[in-house]
Amino acid sequence: MRTGILGYPQSGKTTLFNVLARAHAPTGGYASAAGGIHVGTVQVPDPRLEALRDLFEPKKYTPARIEYVDLAAPPGGGDEKALLPQQITSADLLLVVVRAFENPAVPHAKGSVDPMRDLTGFLDELLLKDLAVLEGAAVRIRKAAQVGQKDAKEELPLLERCLARVEESVPLRHETLTPDEERRLRGYGLVTAKPLLVVFNVSEAQAKGAGLAAALPASPRTRVLEICAKAEMEIAELPPEESREFMELMGIAESGLDRVIRTSYDLLGLRSFFTVGKDEVRAWTIAAGTPAVGAAGKIHSDLERGFIRAEVVASGDLLEAGGLSEAKAKNRLRVEGKEYEVQDGDVLNIRFSV
* Number of residues that make up the chain: 354
- Dihedral angle sign, alpha carbons of residues 51, 56, 59, 60: negative
Cα 170 from Cα 139, distance rounded (Å): 21
Q: Can you tell me the mean pLDDT for 207-217?
A: 72
The answer to whether the Cα torsion of 118, 220, 190, 201 is positive or negative is positive
Confidence band of 210 (pLDDT split at 50, 70, 90): low
User: What are the pLDDT digits (tens) for 261-274?
Assistant: 999 999 999 999 99
What are 350's strand-pairing partners?
A: 310
The per-residue pLDDT for range 229-238, each reduced to its tens digit, is 999 988 888 8
Residue 27 has pLDDT above 80, yes or no: no
State the pairing for strand pair 280-287/60-62: parallel
The mean pLDDT of the chain is: 89
Per-residue pLDDT band for 178 (boundaries 50, 70, 90) equals very high
Sign of the dihedral defined by the CA atoms of residues 209, 234, 247, 221, in that order: positive
**Residues 123 and 146: beta-carbon distance below 8 Å:** no
- Give the closest residue to 230 by CA, choosing from 97, 115, 118: 97
Q: Which domains does the chain have, with CATH numbers?
A: 2-45+64-266 (3.40.50.300), 289-352 (3.10.20.30)
User: Is residue 193 within 8 Å of 172, Cβ to Cβ?
Assistant: yes
pLDDT tens-place string over residues 58-80: 999 999 999 999 986 554 444 43
Order the strands of the 38-43 sheet from edge to edge.
38-43, 65-70, 2-7, 93-99, 196-201, 222-227
Tell me what the mean pLDDT of segment 195-200 comes to.
96
